[in-house]
Structure 1
Amino acid sequence: MKEAIVKVCHLSHRYSVQWAVKDISFDIPAQGIYGLLGSNGAGKSTVMNIMCGVLKQTEGEVFIDGADTRKDPLVAKRCIGFLPQQPPLYGDLTVEEYLTHAAYLRRMPDKEIKAAVDEVLERCSIAHFRSRLIKNLSGGYQQRVGIAQAIVHKPALVVFDEPTNGLDPTQILEIRHLIQSIAKERTVILSTHILTEVHAMCDHIFMIEQGQLVFNGTVDEFDNCLTSNSIFLQLADAPATEELMRIKGVTDVEELGGQRYRIRFSEAEGVVERLVEASSRNRWRLMEIQQEKSSLDDIFAALSKKAKK
């Protein structure tokens, strides 16, 4: 069986007397996009910085493609490409000069550097800016240069910290597509507190709150980890809300306009059947009924609350 590209074992880290991360373990075994999700201050940046060799953990072990980040940091770092929240750019260098410098820093053989730089210039759609000073590029193109430096040495693992932060909607879509294309060839970890970003790009989610791992699963499992307590209902001949409230299990009725209602209930079992039966018996002419999904914000809030207990 192939070694996991990332293996985190009982990871803990303390700043002074406060634990930022406490006893976190997970594996990332395959290509794809993995979301490291958490609110600001949750501990995800600490985990990410330890994985990338920026911090040394207080306790536990981290392996990157089999290399221990504490015992063999150079071997581990060769496997990693990292884009911090603020791209580490040199504004007075041209794009080509900067990427060549980044390749040297990654200890690429001299004879391979030019071809590698040419490849990422094309890959990130910045070849036409190769001779332009980085400080004269827009924010979106500077972000592309930051992504290019993270992949110039063809790492097995690429870590992006808030990669679309501060970009306009068009730039966000372009960066998402670029990251998705990178993930076809290597493993990508995306650190963010933006739920829609995770939902749009990730295959798997690790959620950290209060320094603890509170969720580890697929995006579908994340969507379904809370059971909704409301039903969307549309009736052609709707009754007074008081009649709907009389149905067993119904706790609240919200009028949405256009003969549409949101029905909240205490227990899901039997409520849909009783609503359908009442509609048929009273000729309310049921047009639509469906159980609503919990919103991403509801799920995030519930998992955050779990971490604080």
Structure 2
Amino acid sequence: MENTIVKISHLWHRYGSSWAIQDIDFEIKEYGVLGLLGSNGAGKSTTMNIMCGVLNQVKGDVNIGGYDMRKNPIEAKKLIGFLPQNAPLYLDLTVHEYLTQCAHLRLIPKKEIEQSVDKAMAKCGVSHFRNRLISNLSGGYKQRVGIAQAIIHEPKLVVLDEPTNGLDPNQILEVRKLIKEIGEEKSVIFSSHILSEVQATCEHVKMIENGLMVFEDSMDAFNNYIEPDSLLMTMVNPPLPEVLKLIPGVNEVEVLSAKQFRIRFTDATNISEKLIEASVDAGWRLRELTLEKSSLDQIFAQLSNKTPNKNS
């Protein structure tokens, strides 16, 4: 039976007169990687900063491992490892010196510090750089050191805010793999505004847009939600749009050019096969049939429109 490690209840916060988040509620179980998805400025970082005790919310409660963040902040923070969007690295220290300092800050007993540092370096794949200045590391390895400081005290919850931002494709793959490995032992919250990052890394997803929680479910459920509902069809001898509309499953036909159409459908079952068969039978000389994926902006808009606005 999985235990609840995080419980967020009716969380509100504002900057000046504008609400950054409104009535956010969710729980997180032990183990696994959860994605917090949202566009830039949606309220992700605000939520994570409050969860980690960096910000004090205007209203609502944060409970970490049974500790109220306001009433018992020290005990609650002991259970959290946090990597903010800008990793808190001391560039003029070596990897070993920096992680040793982090271990002291995390109140790890002196006799256990060296072991904790070695374990965190090994887990994050930076042991061979233990004596190198952090300023001389690549972006990917700097991020690994940032993750190492977040796990050095063996927290139950690891919070990573945009951990792949600014990394090249190879570095992103390496950090993804590391996050998944950490998720096998701890609960990880991974925030991103990039849909593919969340899809590749997370098992569950929560989406915040305009300060509101607009979606919470498994990654599979989210992927089903965003299944394409249109395709592009290019033909040498295309028929009239009215002819395409007669094909079972076709809902709407949009003329993009003399040869290309956007076909919208209500049921994806065999729609491609039906269009191909019709093309062969009628001699349309089909050249291309491509499913269109919803953009992240479109998904945000769809989900936001389904969520009622909340007032203070």
**TM-score by structure 2 length?**
0.85
Whether 2:42 is the aligned partner of 1:42: answer yes
Q: How many residues align?
A: 306
* TM-aligned CA distance change 1:129 to 1:208, over 3 Å: same
How many Å separate the matches in 1 of 2:77 and 2:32?
Answer: 20
Amino acid in structure 2 at the alignment position of 1:101: Q
Residue 244 of structure 1: aligned partner:
243
Q: What is the rounded CA distance, in whole Å, between the counterparts of 2:112 and 2:273 in structure 1?
A: 70
After superposition, the CA RMSD in angstroms is 3.3
CA contact (8 A) 1:202 1:219 kept: yes
- Range with bigger deviation, 168-177 or 277-286: 277-286
Bigger shift: residues 270-279 or 103-112: 270-279
Contact kept in structure 1, 2:230 and 2:291, CA below 8 Å:
yes
Correspondences of 1:89-238 after superposition (within 5 Å):
89-226=89-226, 228-231=228-231
For residues 63-94 of structure 1, the C-alpha deviation after alignment (integer angstroms, 9 at most, x for no partner) is 11111111111111111000111111111111
Which amino acid in structure 1 is aligned with residue 130 of structure 2? R
- What is aligned with 2:70? 70
1:61 and 2:64 correspond:
no
CA distance in 2 between counterparts of 1:83 and 1:70 reads 21
Residues 51 and 255 from structure 1, CA distance in 2 versus in 1: closer, same or farther, beyond 3 angstroms? same
Moved over 6 A (4+): 232-235, 285-291
Q: Would the aligned equivalents of 1:279 and 1:286 in 2 still touch at CA under 8 Å? A: no
Task: Write the distance in 1 (CA, Å) between the matches of 2:280 and 2:294.
Answer: 33
Give the secondary-structure state (helix, strand or coil) at the position aligned to 2:225. Answer: coil
The Cα shift of 1:174 comes to 0.9
Q: Is the 8 A contact 1:38 1:192 kept in 2?
A: yes
Contact 2:6 2:64 in 1 (8 A): yes
In 1, are the aligned partners of 2:245 and 2:253 still within 8 Å (CA)?
A: no
Compute the displacement of 1:188 (Å). 0.6
Aligned residues of 1:126 and 1:144 also touching (Cα < 8 A): yes
Q: Per the alignment, do residues 130 and 263 of structure 1 end up closer, same or farther by CA in structure 2, a change over 3 Å counting?
A: same
- AA paired with 1:203? E
The 3-state SS of whatever aligns with 1:224 is: helix
Deviations 1:112-138 (A, max 9, x none): 110010111112121111111211222
Of residues 73-82 and 13-22 in structure 1, the stretch that sits farther from structure 2 once superposed is 13-22
Higher mean Cα deviation, 195-204 or 248-257? 248-257
Q: TM-score, normalised on structure 1?
A: 0.86
- Return the letter of the residue paired with 2:158: V
1:255 and 1:262 in contact (8 A); partners too:
yes
CA spacing shift, 1:158–1:279, aligned 2, 3 Å:
same
Q: Percent identity?
A: 50
Report the Cα offset of residue 165 of structure 1.
0.8
Report what 1:295 is aligned to.
294
Q: Secondary structure at the match of 1:155?
A: coil
Deviation (angstroms), 1:233 = 6.5
1-structure distance, mates of 2:170, 2:89: 22
SS, match of residue 122 in structure 1: helix
Matched-pair contact (CA < 8 Å) for 1:206–1:217: yes
- Deviation string for 1:234-256 (max 9, x for gaps)? 99x96524463351654215689
Q: Residues 145 and 229 of structure 1: is their aligned pair in 2 closer, same or farther, counting only changes over 3 Å?
A: closer
- In structure 2, the CA distance between the partners of 1:142 and 1:264, relative to structure 1 (3 Å rule), is same
In structure 1, distance between residues paired with 2:184 and 2:130: 25
Amino acid at match of 2:198: V
How many Å separate the matches in 2 of 1:165 and 1:276?
41
Deviation at 1:15, TM superposition (A): 2.4
CA deviation profile, 1:8-34 (whole Å, cap 9, x unmatched) = 111111223322111111111131111
Amino acid at match of 2:213: L
